């Protein structure tokens, strides 16, 4: 459907770039995200906004790649590069924020349509966290540019916020990969996570979800409803 590819692209873009070679790695992540969004936009139109952001990231990511490569190779850069580079960095920063928020809003809409309450709430929570991070980091960079004294106190919480929202977004995307499928595949068996700790986590949450659903079914048997909601893996949902 596209969530597996999106997970890989998001991991490359926001985790593997935490080093001095972001200018090489990030464009790869942008392209993978673009490929994932080309699939996902068929199921939820709001993914188009994230797709536009990914195209913008690829464009300026390519410039960043050329700039970083020239610096590493010791190639002299033209004078106008001193003006273009800061502007390109700001565009990348804003486009990454817009990409994350657009992705989360699209996931919230898709999950809401499938009555996946957990994923919808997680998407809205993560949207708020992403917004707090980018507002905080923008304030830091605009009010205290290049201030070592200010960064000594402001940088650690900003980095912690980034790590938190990145981890939560990856968990959300992975849960969508596990729980959402194209129409017609609802009866397929649920995917088995490869890593043991992830399997145990999903086993526990699956048992809790099953107990909650059984309780709701017992409470709603008086209306005799047998309606179903497709496209969410792991069985069907009763309608009232």
> Domain segments of the chain: what residues?
3-74+86-179
Query: How high is the pLDDT of residue 206?
Result: 57
Query: How high is the pLDDT of residue 219?
Result: 57
Query: How high is the pLDDT of residue 223?
Result: 46
Q: Taking the model in full, what pTM does it have?
A: 0.75
Q: Which two tokens stand for residue 161?
A: 């916020």
Query: How high is the pLDDT of residue 188?
Result: 45
Q: What is the pLDDT of residues 87-141, one digit of tens each?
A: 999 999 999 999 999 999 999 999 998 888 999 999 999 999 999 999 999 988 8
Residue 42 · residue 109 · CB < 8 Å: no
Query: How high is the pLDDT of residue 179?
Result: 84
Beta carbons within 8 Å of 89's beta carbon, 6+ residues apart? 64
Query: How high is the pLDDT of residue 33?
Result: 96
List the chain residues with pLDDT less than 70: 182-240
């Amino acid at each position: 459907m596209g969530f597996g590819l999106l997970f890989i692209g998001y991991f490359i873009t926001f985790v593997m770039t935490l080093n001095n070679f972001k200018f090489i790695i990030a464009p790869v992540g942008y392209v993978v995200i673009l490929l994932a969004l080309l699939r996902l936009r068929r199921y939820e139109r709001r993914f188009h906004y994230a797709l536009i952001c990914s195209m913008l990231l690829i464009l300026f990511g390519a410039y960043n790649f050329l700039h970083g490569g020239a610096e590493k190779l010791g190639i002299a850069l033209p004078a106008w590069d001193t003006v273009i580079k800061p502007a390109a960095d700001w565009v990348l920063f804003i486009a990454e924020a817009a990409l994350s928020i657009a992705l989360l809003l699209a996931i919230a809409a898709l999950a809401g349509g499938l009555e996946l309450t957990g994923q919808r709430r997680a998407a809205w929570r993560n949207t708020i966290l992403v917004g707090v991070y980018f507002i905080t980091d923008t304030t830091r960079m605009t009010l205290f540019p290049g201030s070592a004294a200010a960064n000594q106190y402001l940088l650690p919480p900003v980095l912690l916020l980034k790590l938190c929202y990145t981890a939560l977004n990856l968990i959300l995307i992975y849960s969508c990969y596990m729980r959402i499928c194209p129409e017609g595949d609802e009866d397929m068996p649920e995917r088995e996570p490869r890593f043991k700790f992830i399997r145990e986590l999903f086993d526990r949450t699956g048992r809790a979800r099953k107990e909650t659903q059984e309780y709701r079914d017992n409470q709603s048997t008086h209306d005799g409803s047998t309606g179903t909601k497709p496209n969410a893996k792991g069985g069907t949902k009763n309608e009232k």
